[in-house]
Structure 1
Amino acid sequence: MVALAQHPPSADRLRAIDEFLDGAWADLARHDERLRGLAVEVRFDGGVAHLTGEVAEPGQLRLARDVVGRLAGVFGVWSRVRVGGRDPVVVDLGCGRTKQYPGNLGLDIFPAPGVDAVADLSRSLPLADDSVDVVFAVHILEHLIDFLPLVDEIHRVLRPGGVLHVMSPWWRHVNAVADPTHVRLLDVQTVKGICGQRPPGTPRWYPLHVGCDGASIFADLTPLADGDPEPTPAHLARFFD
């Protein structure tokens, strides 16, 4: 079980963590034969691993994500990687003027530079089924009284093997309550509820990585299809009580 910090790391400590992670990843890339030849670049920023580059097939990206996510000090694993010569379709929900990566498709309720489509995130997303590879929901869920319909919509639009990246204020940090537009408080255990047993027919999720830095929670989730096995207790114990 991952211990949660009571206070977020200082800027100096985060820089030191990133420096450690840079070295740890470089060492893994040199010595893990499975990683040799993978044209995946990994950059660490505040304990979040950013993956870019290109791989031949989805299993290679999943491998890189899994290995990076096992490093101590990684809070989330975000990616924009080409697979099989195809650029990923990446959607930024509630992006405003800032996208996580240039070239992402930005959706927001208000028009602004960088917003490619105006959409009310409390309603259906203007995206086709199985049409998206990555969805970023960064500082979004805490603004919705009921965010499960949006999570279900993201499940609908993600392709098999796609990933939802969540970042939200941790309920015990002042940032969670300092913004009066925040209407929900979230914890790592909230993600456990999203991935847990829900009514039959409800979209199901597999947690790839879940973390907390003392200020924010991070979750990388991939959709489960009908018939896919549930995550094992051993896997869930990595992240949840």
Structure 2
Amino acid sequence: MVALAHTPSSAERLRAMDGFLTEAWLDQVRHDERLRPLGVEVRFDRGVAHLTGEVDEPAQLRLVREQVGRLAGVFGVWCRVRVGGRDPVVVDLGCGATKQWPGNLGLDIFPAPGVDAVADLSGSLPLADDSVDVLFAVHILEHLIDFLPLLDECHRVLRPGGVLHVMSPWWGHVNAVADPTHVRLLDVQTVKGICVMRPPGTPRWYPLHAGSDGASIFADLTPLGPEDDGPTATHLARFFD
């Protein structure tokens, strides 16, 4: 059976969906007394929720993430939220001259404006264990023949509860094959494989969110410890076949 390609949403529809999501979130906050007192601002940009602001404790941030991620039409939940008065440590992998947010630490194999440290992403990251709150891997994985070592490094450097944000071209869109430097094709199902199909003893991931807009795939992953429970079949069914 040949899979039918998704039709990417138009820019006009994505802008309209952002308006719908903004209204839906404000309505949810009005009706959820757990959310009303929290100092988190949520902005939607082409289906990606951008969270900023401040909360007192990690559980409050997890609550906001979970509730935003449940809205239909949200492809990813990207966070830069202060927790307990501390700014998050956010690292852009392969940032080039463009960081996802100003103030992020930028790593790339080539020096460029915005690159704070030169690093080969196919090797070890120049970051300490459990030192990072948020990692961005935006349009990176498709450039690596074997991206699993990079994911293992991301697992090592993320603090418990930290998040890896992934964005890559969807395999069925022309963007996936138009760039001759792309050496891997990815699907949302690839994210499922990362989370549940790796051998025992390798770093484990829990999918907070995963989706596709027909042009790109998105995934928000948090590291699991050796004793942590993995995702249930019910949770996986939200995102994967």
Pair in the same fold by TM > 0.5: yes
1:116 aligns with 2:110: no
Which range moves more in the overlay, 196-205 or 59-68?
196-205
Looking at structure 2, the residues matched to 203 and 215 of structure 1 have their Cα atoms a distance apart, in angstroms, of 28
1:54-96 alpha-carbon deviations (Å, 9 max, x no partner): 0000010010000000001000000100000000000000001
Looking at structure 2, the residues matched to 91 and 175 of structure 1 have their Cα atoms a distance apart, in angstroms, of 25
Residue 159 (structure 2) aligns with: 159
1:187 aligns with 2:187: yes
Looking at structure 1, the residues matched to 192 and 156 of structure 2 have their Cα atoms a distance apart, in angstroms, of 20
CA deviation after TM superposition for structure 1 residue 197, in Å? 3.4
1:136-160 alpha-carbon deviations (Å, 9 max, x no partner): 0000000000000000000000000
Looking at structure 1, the residues matched to 200 and 227 of structure 2 have their Cα atoms a distance apart, in angstroms, of 12
Which range moves more in the overlay, 212-221 or 28-37?
28-37
1:101-133 alpha-carbon deviations (Å, 9 max, x no partner): 110000000001110000000000000000000
Residue 148 (structure 1) aligns with: 148
Q: Structure 2 matches for 1:198-237, cutoff 5 A?
A: 198-237=198-237
Please state whether the residue corresponding to 1:34 is helix, strand or coil. coil
Q: Structure 2 matches for 1:55-74, cutoff 5 A?
A: 55-74=55-74
CA deviation after TM superposition for structure 1 residue 5, in Å? 7.0
Specify the code of the residue in structure 2 equivalent to 1:76.
G
1:175-208 alpha-carbon deviations (Å, 9 max, x no partner): 0000000000000000000001322220000000
CA deviation after TM superposition for structure 1 residue 8, in Å? 0.9
Residue 21 (structure 1) aligns with: 21
> So what's the TM-score if we normalise by structure 1?
0.97
Please state whether the residue corresponding to 1:175 is helix, strand or coil. helix
Contiguous gaps of at least 5 residues in structure 1: none
Looking at structure 2, the residues matched to 47 and 230 of structure 1 have their Cα atoms a distance apart, in angstroms, of 27
Task: Write out the 4+ residue segments of structure 1 that deviate beyond 2 Å after TM superposition.
Answer: none
> So what's the TM-score if we normalise by structure 2?
0.97
Q: Structure 2 matches for 1:26-175, cutoff 5 A?
A: 26-175=26-175
Contact 1:5 1:213 (8 Å CA) reproduced? no
Contact 1:43 1:49 (8 Å CA) reproduced? yes
Looking at structure 1, the residues matched to 234 and 70 of structure 2 have their Cα atoms a distance apart, in angstroms, of 14
Please state whether the residue corresponding to 1:171 is helix, strand or coil. coil
Looking at structure 1, the residues matched to 133 and 166 of structure 2 have their Cα atoms a distance apart, in angstroms, of 14
Contiguous gaps of at least 5 residues in structure 2: none
Please state whether the residue corresponding to 2:64 is helix, strand or coil. helix
Higher RCO structure (Cα 8 Å, ≥6 apart): 1
| Alignment size in residue pairs | 238
1:196-223 alpha-carbon deviations (Å, 9 max, x no partner): 1322220000000000000000000000
